[in-house]
């Protein structure tokens, strides 16, 4: 049943604005300039010349501080300017769960997670630690996730289990938020993210020769994603067979030959990125409507992910070639 509250025509103004913003995305020659900058400070200068608010404090801080501020500004602007807020909240949920993972692990180890938390989630980073400590004030399914993750870590004595528990709740909540948005394309996006995460984990664990149980424990669900039974059936078969047998109605199958080639050759890191690019390219053909700001938010989220890898490499003193190799791109 549709829960739409707006018509596509209500997106005329924001769609026109977004079309102009798309020209300022960090890609192509600008991204090359960031990668080829001689050092971290020079890379920040390139970003400052292309719309990023870089301060002197960013030279000594983790790049996530800069990217987190930028993400917070972008998400806040669109949340206040699109008729349907669920289009933005679906992007905020993973950031909340990243902070939850950090807080639960820190609590388990007796450490302080304060400086590691990222902004742009639904819960301000400054309030997150207190909410975790009080076991209250967290939205959606996060209180259940907190309880289960903390109990699991205490019972098993291994904080790495926290990631598995939190990821399951994260994708469940993304799927619920996507359904509440009333837009089929948002639901398809949530399923696509789950498919990409599951296939990437499947490839890594399979190539490492690890047992099927480890995969089934880490499998995440979203409405419309590929079921765990598919992965169980193909766990003992080669990746070429997996690529050739993708369910026809799945997001991975819609990705076409490139996705099949990534799976066949075990390029786990490329799958999510490639699917996101295909989604953005498809939605950019839309003249106006909710797909336009959604695709821009997806493109910016991908941009932040790429820049995070580039800037961290630059901060470590990595060469341009090493950064490109990490990104899987050629010079």
Same domain for 67 and 18, yes or no, is yes
Are 99 and 143 contained in the same domain? Answer: yes
Q: Count other Cβ atoms within 10 Å, centred on residue 91.
A: 23
Cα–Cα dist 173/123, whole Å: 15
Instruction: Using the predicted structure, report yes or no on whether residue 330 has a pLDDT greater than 90.
Output: no
Share of the chain above pLDDT 70, in %: 97
CATH number, domain of 219, equals: 1.20.1690
pLDDT at 1 over 50: no
Cα–Cα distance between 20 and 30 in angstroms, integer?
A: 17
pLDDT tens for 275-322 read 998 999 999 888 899 999 999 999 999 899 899 989 999 998 989 988
72 and 130 within one domain: no
Q: What is the pLDDT of residues 138-149, one digit of tens each?
A: 998 999 999 999
* pLDDT at residue number 85: 87
Q: Are residues 175 and 213 in the same domain?
A: no
SS3 110: coil
pLDDT digits (tens, 9 = 90+) for 252-267: 999 999 999 999 999 8
Last-in-domain residue among 122, 153, 182: 182
Q: Averaged over 80-86, what is the pLDDT? A: 90
Task: Note the pLDDT of residue 35.
Answer: 94
Instruction: Find the helix or strand (DSSP H, E) in which 164 lies.
Output: helix 161-181
Is residue 261 domain-shared with residue 325, that is, in the same domain? no
pTM, entire model: 0.88
Which pLDDT belongs to residue 328? 67
Inform me whether the pLDDT recorded for 176 exceeds 60.
Answer: yes
Name the band, by pLDDT with cuts 50, 70 and 90, for residue 5. low
Last residue of a domain, one of 182, 215, 250: 182
Structure-block tokens of residue 252: 């991975």
Q: Do 262 and 199 have their domain in common?
A: yes
| Separation of alpha carbons 272 and 68, rounded Å | 20
Asked whether the predicted pLDDT for residue 226 surpasses 80, the reply is yes
Domain boundary among 166, 182, 198: 182
At 78 the pLDDT is: 93
Which range marks the domain in which residue 272 is found? 184-286
Same domain, 152 and 94: yes
Q: In angstroms, rounded to a whole number, what is the distance separating the alpha carbons of residues 309 and 272? A: 15
Q: Which residue has the higher pLDDT, 143 or 157?
A: 143
């Amino acid at each position: 049943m549709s829960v739409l509250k707006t018509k596509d025509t209500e997106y005329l103004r924001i769609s026109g604005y977004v079309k102009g913003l798309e020209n300022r995305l960090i890609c192509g020659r600008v991204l090359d300039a960031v990668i080829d900058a001689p050092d971290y400070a020079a890379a920040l200068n390139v970003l400052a010349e292309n719309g990023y608010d870089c301060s002197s404090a960013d030279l000594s801080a983790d790049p996530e501080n800069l990217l987190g501020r930028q993400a917070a500004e972008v998400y806040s602007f669109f949340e206040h300017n699109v008729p349907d807020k669920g289009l933005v909240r679906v992007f905020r949920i993973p950031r909340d769960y990243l902070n939850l993972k950090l807080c639960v692990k820190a609590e388990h180890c007796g450490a302080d997670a304060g400086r590691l938390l990222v902004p742009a989630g639904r819960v301000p980073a400054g309030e997150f630690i207190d909410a975790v400590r009080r076991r209250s004030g967290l939205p959606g399914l996060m209180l259940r996730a907190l309880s289960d993750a903390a109990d699991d870590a205490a019972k098993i004595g291994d904080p790495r289990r926290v990631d598995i528990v939190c990821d399951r709740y994260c994708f469940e909540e993304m799927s619920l938020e996507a359904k509440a948005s009333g837009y089929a394309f948002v639901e398809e996006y949530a399923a696509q993210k789950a498919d990409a995460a599951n296939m990437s984990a499947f490839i890594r664990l399979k190539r490492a020769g690890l047992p099927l149980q480890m995969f089934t424990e880490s499998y995440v669900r979203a409405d419309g994603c590929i079921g765990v039974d598919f992965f169980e059936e193909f766990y003992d078969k080669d990746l070429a067979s997996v690529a050739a047998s993708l369910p026809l109605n799945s997001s991975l199958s819609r990705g076409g030959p490139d996705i099949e080639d990534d799976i066949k050759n075990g390029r786990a890191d490329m799958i999510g990125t490639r699917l996101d690019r295909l989604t953005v390219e498809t939605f950019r053909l839309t003249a106006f409507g909710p797909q336009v700001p959604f695709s821009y938010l997806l493109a910016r989220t991908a941009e932040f992910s790429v820049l995070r890898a580039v800037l961290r490499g630059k901060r470590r003193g990595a060469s341009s070639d090493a950064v490109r190799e990490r990104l899987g791109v050629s010079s």
